[in-house]
A and B are shown apart, each in its own frame.
Chain A
């Protein structure tokens, strides 16, 4: 029975003002009653006898004096086996199940169980009667697709619970009682396969946080080589519209060398997430041979879905990521776009008539962004294993100008910055990560001496290019001209990568190191050309060969023969170190 209720006194967009009597918690969930429907809402400000709530649905149809029922709980998600492969909205409603019952459209006020409560999972216990267990400890195991899914003691339970009973191995549903444990006060608590966790509260059930150092291979050369991301690290991808943020993330979600990928489509186009939704079940994960969908969870609150639920969606996503991290897995969370999330905050802040900060974003924008990225990390779990959450967020700066609050706040807290440039995307130089503006604090798979050489060439090449726009090609020395050609070569055959080619889309760490060594040899070569045209001609044909090389399967016959071709070309020009055995 609902005890605590209130009455609506004001409606403005998706914010309602509610007069209440009992006790109300900040961020508590309530339901606005609209005929048969109950619209989920969250308390975002308390003011005397009024609370302001953001409604996770369209508010049209609500009226003054309509009832709001408070739930006394925070906005939560259900955690347990069966999350993988799911497609959820920002509030963890399974969209395919909604589609089955409601057809083409999303009706408001329809909330479904996030996980299937009927399904039985074969469970193997890992504890026995009399054991002491702490939050996050493993009760037993369930095989979820390709993973050993650890069933854990809820993260907010008491420490030192004594196990009273535990079920034998067998098949159980999510709600079946698996174990009874006694806390210090002597109360019995039930342990089940799934439990709820409030999304805005980070899961901190681990021993300590470790420094992220191991690279997370994405298979995108410019990232892994030049602007790497560490497992447990954070990075952001700002870029003007159409620069390629989503494509970079889609490619990463396919090829990243991690266990679990959470795709959070936050306030962007529905069509894009549909591509992922439809393609992933068909694509094979090269590592496991299973469909990619088995390692993926999609959280999808697209731009025409309610804006408050969009704000919630990133928290839903990161909570699920942390949950799998607790099992000792490496999880990658890709959020597209964090700007839409920030805008959702801005919309609510505007309705609350808070004093606006820069570009009308609320003053707390920066701390919210920081706290979100801080939920990434490499952790040492209580059982001695490590797990990680890596977070990559796109940013959609207004006008493509990085001097705006969301980009700037993100840059302060992330470990790598992949800045996409309009200039590069216009020239179809994809992925359009700007090689001179981007940075990463993490360690590359390539040794720093070689990286230094190539960076210098890119930098010098750019200077020379700029110089040539002022003084013309003739105005630079032949040697400089060759440096410029070298930087262009590096750009076209290494920085650029064809995301839509089945071979080129993914370049393994091994292949990157191999190809890079060959390239460095080429770049180190002084060259001596009779004139500029000869130089250009040589580099054009070399580029052609290297592009073909990129398209050839790693270690295939074509790969070898192209490599020999390239080496032969180089030998005519100078020398290249011997081909490694």
Chain B
């Protein structure tokens, strides 16, 4: 029996309050106003007064509008029929396809028992050296892309989605620009992946609260596909909008803010979504890639900060490149021991030297005399940025590693790189040239390839090798200059 009430006692922000009996916490109601119907969720009960968060917002809601409690929590129809479909943040079709009714599942699903998880061990290859080599993506990882407006984060997300081979792709958008939505649709359709994708779309034009459901719907559906044995990749963009929507409600409910207006449970709220990433024993997996834009490019802002504490690393996209310092894959050590024996050392060694390069750049900027070591670092850093860091580079891991050795050999002597001797023995490219020649050779690359480092996400370069160092011929004497 559904209870209907026709007197709204309070309207504040996106929240309405109704005196009602027998209502359960978390249940949904349908609010009918002259603008149409909207779902609303019970977010607080106190002495008979029930507070509901209205997904479509409260504009034009009348004190005498109808509130009908459904006795049910938010649910969505789950079946393979979801594939290829596009829905809004409340699960209503946006693609003129049929409304789905069967096999309703709740979208707030319980936590996976940690004892039922197992240690992730499958690498996801993306062809992007900054990911594969330095920040390896792993099945069941939760990894955000930290970025700022204007950076090509959605492009990066789409590129990873298309290159990683997942059975099912689920896109959940929150406050996405309509053009970006069309971009995703276009990319996924062009890549022939629409038939294995489901979209839950909330755009910047939609009511703020409606985006609150997007992560839950996307992840509930993902979890079901995973339980059915599928490898699922969930793309969420932009989680900062999700956090802002929570902040709005928290402020309306007069909850004490903890940090810059965000509620004290921001961490727990974000974590309960990100922790849905899982590799089920004997079934499929959920991997989450999410965009978190950083207001004011400030990584200490509560949203990126809390996210960083939850996720298993982050990709820091900045200046059109994945920054080697801000970025980190926490799970990389679970897989990079089984890739190639030099993977870890090369990864750490290159980054250490790159840190030195950054210091040298500072020195240079201050106008100091540079030592010969600084010169070497400059050569190195420059090669590193062009051959490995540029997003246009598309190389399988093994070639990226070879490329790393080539860059080292082009910049330094064996004893200078701080790597283990046995690996140097095994992988150092055989060079017959003196250090001086190497440097001049390398610096010629620097000047030669200066022209092509602009648009980092050049569409055309996705499928062809981006590293013009001739990496597949390890016996070559030194790094080759441009063709």
Interface residues of A (CB under 8 A from B): 9-13, 17, 58-65, 87, 95-96, 98-99, 102-108, 240-242, 267, 269-271, 273-275, 277-279, 300, 302-305, 307, 340, 343, 346-347, 349-350, 353, 356, 359-361, 396, 398-401, 426-428, 468-475, 492, 500, 532-533, 536-537, 540-541, 543-544, 547-548, 551
Contacts and interface: CB of A to CB of B under 8 A. Distances in A.
Given A360-B258, A548-B421, A307 B268 contact: yes
A107 B110 contact: yes
Contacts of A473: 363, 368-369, 371, 374
B105 to A, nearest CB: 13
Nearest to A57: B110
Given A346-B258, A396-B309, A426-B326, 6 more contacts: A271-B312, A303-B275, A400-B305, A428-B355, A469-B366, A473-B369
B265 A307 contact: yes
Contacts of A544: 415, 418, 421
B80 to A, nearest CB: 21
A400 B416 contact: no
Contacts of B272: 303-304
Contacts of B418: 492, 540, 543-544, 547
B115 A60 contact: no
B45 A10 contact: yes
Contacts of B22: 63-65
A11 B25 contact: yes
A95 B113 contact: yes
Interface stretch (B60-68, B92-100, B116-124, B397-405): B116-124
Interface in B392-429: 415-416, 418, 420-421
A267 B328 CA distance: 21
Interface stretch (B173-181, B189-197, B344-352, B383-391): B344-352
Contact of B256 (A13, A59, A278, A356): A356
Contact of B369 (A107, A472, A533): A472
Question: What 5 pairs between A and B have smallest CB-CB spacing?
Answer: A472-B368, A60-B26, A399-B300, A303-B271, A304-B275
B129 interface: no
Contacts of B331: 271
Contacts of A242: 308, 313-314, 328, 330
A204 B364 CA distance: 62
Contact of A533 (B264, B308, B330, B372): B372
Contact of A474 (B44, B120, B264, B369): B369
Contacts of B371: 473, 532-533, 536
Contacts of B117: 270-271, 274
B319 interface: no
A129 to B, nearest CB: 44
B458 interface: no
Interface of B: 21-26, 44-48, 73, 108-120, 140, 227, 255-259, 263-265, 267-268, 271-272, 275-276, 280, 300-302, 305, 308-310, 312-314, 325-326, 328, 330-331, 333-334, 337, 344, 348, 351-352, 355, 359, 362-363, 366, 368-369, 371-374, 415-416, 418, 420-421
Contact of B308 (A241, A353, A474): A241
A536 B413 CA distance: 13
A360 B275 contact: no
A452 to B, nearest CB: 28
11 contacts: A13-B265, A58-B108, A60-B108, A98-B113, A102-B113, A104-B113, A343-B268, A426-B326, A427-B355, A428-B348, A471-B368
Nearest to B50: A64
Most buried by B among A102, A105, A300: A105
Contact of A60 (B73, B301, B359, B421): B73
B111 A98 contact: no
A551 B271 CA distance: 38
A304 B272 CA distance: 4
Contact of B300 (A58, A401, A470, A547): A401
Contacts of B337: 500
A523 B325 CA distance: 31
A335 B374 CA distance: 43
Contact of A536 (B300, B334, B373): B373
A62 B24 contact: yes
A359 B306 CA distance: 14
A454 B326 CA distance: 31
Contacts of B267: 267, 303, 340, 343
Contacts of B328: 242
Contacts of B309: 241, 396
Given A13-B265, A303-B310, A474-B368, A350 B256 contact: yes
A102 B328 CA distance: 35
Contacts of B373: 533, 536
A347 B268 contact: yes
A62 B25 contact: yes
A225 B335 CA distance: 32
Nearest to B272: A304
A426 B356 CA distance: 12
Nearest to A473: B371
